Amino acid sequence: MAAEFDAIVVGAGPAGASAALSLARRGANVLMLEKARVPGERNMTGGVLYGDFPHELGLISLVPDFESTAPLERRILSHEVVVLDEPNRSKGTSRYYRLSKTSLAARLGVFSMEFETGHDYSVLRRPFDRWLANLAVRSGAMLSTDTTAEGLLKEGDSVVGVRTTKEEIRSKVVIDASGVSSNLVEEAGLRGRLAPRQLYHGIKRVYKLDPGTIEKRFRAGPGTGRAIFFLGEFMHGIGGGAFIYTNKDTLSVGLVVSLDSLIRATTERFDKVGKLLDVLDDFEDHPMVAELLEGARAAEYSSHNVPKGYKSILKRPYSNGFMVAGDALGAFVKIGPMIDGMRRAITSGMLAARSFVEASSSGSFKARNLSRYADYLGPIYEDVDRSGRDGFISESSFTYRILPRVIFGTRLLSSTYRFAPRPSTTGSKDAISRVQEGTSLLSYDEDKAYSHIKVDAAAASKSVTKPWVPACPTNCYTILTPKGVFASFKDLYEVNLAQLAAGNSPGPFEAKAFAQTQEDVRVAQLKFDHVACVGCGTCGAIGPPEAVAFTHERSGHGVRYRFG
């Protein structure tokens, strides 16, 4: 390996690969470091890749033939928002409201429906990230996989390389594209640990379904598809929504919510919702959604955090010898249901490369020479700022709680969906069992010598609410009580309610069961096991670091998504 590189890019996702590709084309000696065995193996998305960006800074400009060479799923020609009412299962009816570009909510700015760029495709991250990283390699970049950057090398106040699990590597500049849970940004002094209020949390299932059935059910032609976003009572008041994206022979089905809203719901209203997986199950059980998923086979379960750009983006994304791109930068936009991070990741990677090239001409990579990077990011800052302004409405309780009630308060705004009467199919299994059904679909390489999450179980057990337990999308965190082991406080509440009611009507006992559950949680012992961790970083965001500290897996260990 070279004694010193021009640039080290940490992370081979869209931001990192775009930066490395741009640098390699300009003749730079660039090294990409990727903690997984294969780029994309640890990543997941909803998701739609919007292929263009103003000022020729989209993927269509970086790779003009990507529409014919990239591993794309379907061209997305239609975006919709559907608001779902609680179904009347005995009558076989449910109300719904479909929003379009011309709807009142769109015109008022509650939801942005202006998504299309003309080059928009559903993608799966494992094949897509691998393709883009390989383009960078074919252009001259080096790629080192199974390599985690654990810290920065510094001389004085300048970054001069990285310290990995294998060795120390020097460079003129380090571009951090390691994602939302980057520890390098913190070490560089540009930002502290992101808090739950600065993050969205997503979970997703990938379902296998034959292409013909997808096209029939979603009214799509060969090679084309739809992106559908959902709001409604199934969210149990949590700020966020659901999505279905059509792929070639799979469906991406999931939720994106505000992490702080999820924590409040699962620790303060656990009689209604115990885990985000409960919400996903309720969504998929809605008759209108269940019809779309009928006969589909679950193939993967995944989870990830993404930054709330308007609460987390770095206004100073550089320091001496150091720049930040992608989710580590906070270059993420969500306006109402629209989720848009990949194209801004690509754009920021391209702009970081441009800033490096310009600084090279001065012979110095001090902060003053890299400061043009912030100027170049102007269009992204404008988008993020706008999303923050729009988010005052689109991220508010009005949108997630009041708007559906207003819509369904008058039958003039909504339509009726009819289905064969049937009971709900959710609620028959506890959270531990349902999570295990999801994680059993995953390939996971356990590190038997090192845990990337450090938990002081004694300190964490003193927490009154133990929020890591219900917020974790897997079974890393549970509580041990005399009544059993639980990954959901709702499950514990239902045990208490059944014991108190003793066969009688549960209504009069609900308040006492709720109070008993709060006390049980308070005195419970926290248990931790990182096996089957999907590396979302939620527990680390909750913290505090003296009780729970999150870092990245080493040497390629961890989850290995097949789809992403």
Question: Is 464:522 a contact under the CB 8 Å cutoff?
Answer: yes
Contacts of 87 (CB under 8 A, 6+ apart): 93, 94, 286, 287, 288, 419
Q: Which pLDDT tens digit goes with each residue over 224-271?
A: 999 999 999 899 999 999 999 999 999 999 999 999 999 999 999 999
- What whole-number distance in Å separates Cα of residue 286 and Cα of residue 419? 10
The mean pLDDT value for 506-529 works out to 98
- φ, ψ for residue 38 (rounded to 5)? -135, 135
Q: Domain 4-72+122-192+310-385: give its CATH superfamily.
A: FAD/NAD(P)-binding domain (3.50.50.60)
Cβ density class 365-384: b for 16+ within 10 Å, e for less: bebebbeebbebbeebbebb
Instruction: Give tens-digit pLDDT for 409-433.
Output: 777 778 999 999 988 988 779 999 9
CA gyration radius for the chain? 24
Q: Is 70 exceeded by the pLDDT of residue 184?
A: yes
Residue 164's pLDDT is what?
96
| pTM, rounded to two decimals | 0.96
Q: What's the pLDDT at 105?
A: 63
- Residue 116 pLDDT greater than 90, yes or no: no
In the chain, the N- to C-terminal Cα span, in Å, equals: 31
pLDDT at 1: 66
Residues 23-64 pLDDT 10s:
999 999 999 999 999 999 999 998 899 999 999 999 999 999
Give the whole-angstrom CA distance, residue 59 versus residue 50: 8
**Closest alpha carbon to 335 in 108, 22, 170, 135:** 108
Amino acid in the structure at residue 202: G
Main-chain phi, psi angles of 85, to 5 degrees? -90, 165
- Which residues pair with residue 303 across a beta bridge? 203
Question: Is the pLDDT score of 112 beyond 90?
Answer: no
Domain ranges across the chain: 4-72+122-192+310-385, 75-119+197-308+394-418, 431-560
Q: Does domain 75-119+197-308+394-418 have CATH number 3.30.9?
A: yes
The answer to whether residue 402 scores a pLDDT higher than 80 is no
DSSP designation for 88: B
Distances (CA, A) of 550 to 9, 322, 458, 530: 21, 23, 17, 11
| Mean pLDDT, range 429-445, rounded to an integer | 96
d(CA 200, CA 538): 10
247 close to 73: Cβ distance less than 8 angstroms:
yes
Convert the pLDDT of each residue in 491-507 to its tens digit. Answer: 999 999 999 999 999 99
Per-residue pLDDT of 329-382, as tens digits, reads: 999 998 666 788 999 999 999 999 999 999 999 999 999 999 999 999 999 999
Cβ(553)–Cβ(447) under 8 Å?
Answer: yes
pLDDT at position 198 is 98
Per the CB < 8 A criterion, the answer to whether 488 and 278 are in contact is yes
Q: Please give the Cα distance from 204 to 534 (Å, whole number).
A: 12
Nearest to 48 by CA among 117, 132, 135, 133: 117
* pLDDT score at 428: 79
Low-confidence winner among 2-6, 50-54, 511-515 (lowest mean pLDDT): 2-6
